[in-house]
Amino acid sequence: MPRALVLRAAGTNCDSEMVRAFELAGAHADLVHLDACIAEPQRLDDYDLLGFPGGFSYGDDIASGRIFAMKVRERLYPALRQAARRGCPMIGACNGFQIMAQAGLLPGPTPGEDWPEHAAPAPTLALTDNANARFMDDWVGMEPVAGSRCIWTAPWADLARRPDAAELLVLPVAHGEGRLVAQSPRLLAALEAGGQVALRYRDNYNGSEGAVAGVCDATGRIFGLMPHPERYLDWTRHPRWTRLPAPVRRGDTPGLMMFRAAVEATVAVRG
């Protein structure tokens, strides 16, 4: 059974949901404090998957995810670089995405390049204040991007072709700083062309550039998104679940599909 590590810190509040997501998807998941991993970075070698949960790590002091991200950059980057090199799937949701972007894990090296040896890459993506300057807590429509190399969103391609796709492909959001901004239009165009844009908002409520809701690295295995797939593991969480046809509710939810896809990809690589 693959092993998943979920990193937590003071202020994270979706860690239990992410642990459950990995376990429902077929992995054994451990919840470990960031400082414990910093003290023993080699612990990451024991895990096949890695998750950065949402919440308000360290109270989002200075900026959302900033303290967690700086700890990762300064103390955990070599271990994370090694995990990325061996193909360890990683996911960051909401605060986790903010952390991964600031830590240099996303969008990662350009295709064909390796991870820097001695220092984390400089951030080139930011998640900043929503366009309406308000905290948004809602369920929003999502669209998978055709041609994306992201392994986490691969099962959504079939869902997107269904007549009820708009009803099924929704995810909960809860953030005040979720508007994605790229370092330059050229960078965003390169991510689009390289298949690294994985998800878009149907209604770009927070003003993200290109309506981008989630991006992956060049391998498709490291993925960050502002919505919360780990909060959509049961059909009863869907805001209109009683109206969904019974056959639909017998399968995995779109949120669980993401985690199962990553676990199954890990099993396939391990043989």
The catalytic residue positions are 94, 228, 230
Beta-carbon contacts of residue 271 (< 8 Å; ≥ 6 apart): none
Q: Would you state the structure tokens that stand for residue 111, as one six-digit string? A: 């295709």
- Are 156 and 204 in contact by the 8 Å Cβ rule? The answer is no
Rounded to 5°, angle at Cα 266 from 263 and 268: 110
- Are 9 and 34 in contact by the 8 Å Cβ rule? The answer is yes
- The CA-based diameter of the chain, rounded to the nearest angstrom, is 53
